[in-house]
Amino acid sequence: MLRYDLVDVFTDRPFAGNQLAVVHDAAHLSVAQLHAIASEFNLSETTFPTPRGAGEYDVRIFTPAGEIPFAGHPTLGTAWVLRSAGALGPDGAVQHCGAGQIKVRFDGDRVELSATPRDLSAPVSDEIVEEVLGDLGLSADDHDGAAYVAGAGLNFLHLPVRADAIGRAEPARRPVSRFTEAVGPLQDPFDGINLFSVSGTAPELTVRSRVFVPELSVPEDPATGSAAAGLGMALVAAGLLPDGGRYEITQGVELGRPSRLSGRVDAVAGRATECHVAGGVHHVGRGEIAVPPDMSGSGGHVA
């Protein structure tokens, strides 16, 4: 049996925000076994950390569809769980994942990640924007500003719309990865849509967001730290935070899991240099899960 913890991330109370399962002592398992456990939990992400000591740890992150190199709420939640277990110190740590090193800092039950920008496209064409808006049940009239593909380990199409369009959007069924060649080249996977509206003026903005990741079996995500990190890059590129600044994101309202993500982006000469995303973490449960049989040779698909 393997021990696990359940936490809610990007929330000021339990049973809101985004759910995460953190499974311990799984370094000996195959990719197929890790994928089977993530599929069993069927949450947007499940993590498998291995402490290195001296304030560092490795982590593997899985959605129900397979492994991804980076994600925000798994980073915050995993670090919080490891600190609670005494595996990390009280101030901060370094996470090693598929996207490289991610710094984390603690402030009580609040955790902040800091990631280096990795991918930023030129403004996405109107043709692509209109096609994606159609997938979301919206029209070209809802579009409100330049759209970018950006990420610090996981890429999203950051698509600005009018405030009234946020609630009318429907989950997309077609993956946006079909546009990878048109917007590339990209280092990291491009799987999601970050639909957002923005208000306020630099250096502090307010954002309403919804995130859809059909290719990773996540029709809609209640809180998406990786999208929040990439959004900082897009806000700088669009001239909304030309010198960097802060942005507070509300997400998950339509799912009944209201979430609050605090974004902060550093910028030099109109280009993002570091992305920071913070939020609260709350423990909601722990238990044990059986080790699944190793189906590595069965031909099953693992991303």
pLDDT tens digit sequence for 83-137: 999 999 999 999 999 999 999 999 988 999 999 999 999 999 999 999 999 999 9
pLDDT of residue 191: 87
Residue 303 lies in a domain: no
Q: What is the CATH number of the domain that holds 250?
A: 3.10.310.10
In percent, the amount of the chain with pLDDT more than 70 equals 98
DSSP assignments along 61-94, one per residue: EEETTEEES--HHHHHHHHHHHHHTTSS-SSEEE
Domain shared by 128 and 190, yes or no: yes
* Residue 45: active-site member: yes
Residue linked to tokens 């808006």: 133
Domain shared by 263 and 142, yes or no: yes
pLDDT of residue 136: 98
pLDDT of residue 1: 96
Domain shared by 246 and 292, yes or no: no
Place 296 in a pLDDT band, splitting at 50, 70 and 90: confident
Mean pLDDT, all residues of the chain = 95
Residues with Cβ within 8 Å of residue 28, at least 6 apart in sequence: none
When divided into structural domains, the chain yields a total of 2
Take residue 120 and report the two structure tokens written for it.
């930023």
Domain shared by 217 and 101, yes or no: no
Place 297 in a pLDDT band, splitting at 50, 70 and 90: low
Domain shared by 157 and 32, yes or no: no
Residue 265 lies in a domain: yes
pLDDT of residue 303: 30
pLDDT tens digit sequence for 73-91: 999 999 999 999 999 999 9
pLDDT tens digit sequence for 27-78: 999 999 999 999 999 999 999 999 998 899 999 999 999 999 999 999 999 9
Residue 53 lies in a domain: yes
Task: Judge whether residue 276 has pLDDT over 80.
Answer: yes
| Cβ pair 157, 176 in contact under 8 A | yes
Domain shared by 140 and 272, yes or no: yes
Domain shared by 132 and 205, yes or no: yes
User: What is the 8-class DSSP label of residue 154?
Assistant: S
Task: Judge whether residue 299 has pLDDT over 70.
Answer: no
Query: Rounded to a whole number, what is the largest CA-CA distance in the chain?
Result: 55
Domain shared by 269 and 137, yes or no: yes
Domain shared by 112 and 129, yes or no: no
Residue 68 lies in a domain: yes
pLDDT of residue 132: 98
pLDDT of residue 54: 86
Residue 15 lies in a domain: yes
Determine phi and psi for 51, rounding to 5 degrees: -60, 140
DSSP-derived pairing of the beta strands 56-63 and 46-53 = antiparallel
Residue 171 one-letter amino acid: P
pLDDT tens digit sequence for 208-220: 999 999 887 789 9
Candidate list 45, 112, 220, 274, residue with the active-site label: 45
| Mean pLDDT value across residues 275-287 | 98
Q: What is the pTM of this model?
A: 0.94
pLDDT tens digit sequence for 173-199: 999 999 999 998 999 999 899 999 999
Residue linked to tokens 């799987």: 191
Domain shared by 105 and 137, yes or no: no
Domain shared by 127 and 257, yes or no: yes
Domain shared by 217 and 269, yes or no: yes
Task: Judge whether residue 301 has pLDDT over 70.
Answer: no
pLDDT tens digit sequence for 236-271: 999 999 999 999 999 999 999 999 999 999 999 999
**What is the residue range of 293's domain?**
2-116+282-298
